[in-house]
Amino acid sequence: MIRWFSFLLIIFNSSSCRYKSGPSGHLPTVKEVSLVSDSIPIRIDEEISLQEKKLIRLDDETEWLRRRARVVEAEKKASRLKNIELNLRKRISKYSGWNDRLPPKEGSLSSQTIAEWEVELRARADASRKAEAAVRLLERDLNEWNQLIIDRHPNILPLSPFVEK
């Protein structure tokens, strides 16, 4: 009987060893777990600070993207206008060359037509120059913004892979 009793006592003692939780011998509650370490508020403060810095950086990046999009749109407009100007120049050159080869009475271009084309060409060239000037102004604005971003966030390169230097 004593053997049987000691056997049961050993079994019960060994099974209670599996559930040891700490020096006090009780399992911690959820509140106790969240308040166990004093370093948790420090980690939270660090995380909050990191998230605030990240938000500032993302706001700056959003502004950079908005400004860069304006530059790209202005460049596209300037490129379209320059293309129109060059195509008009090509057409004038082509028909002016024909005018020199044809006899004066047969289908030659009148001086009025050539003058109208030249007026249109000057207008297209002016539009191209204005669009290119707008691009330069927007690029200057973007470069100033880039410098501001570099000053604020020295570890971040603010240029996209598509920006030509």
Instruction: With a cut of 70, say whether residue 59 has pLDDT above it.
Output: yes
Instruction: With a cut of 90, say whether residue 67 has pLDDT above it.
Output: yes
- pLDDT tens sequence across 2-53: 665 555 556 556 555 444 455 555 554 544 445 445 556 778 889 999 999 8
Q: Where are the domains of the chain?
A: 50-160
* Percent of the chain's residues with pLDDT above 90: 33
What are the DSSP calls for 16-44, one per residue?
HHTT--STTSS---HHHHHTS-THHHHHH
Q: What is the pLDDT of residue 68?
A: 93
Q: How far apart are CA 20 and CA 22, in angstroms?
A: 6
pTM of full prediction above 0.75: no
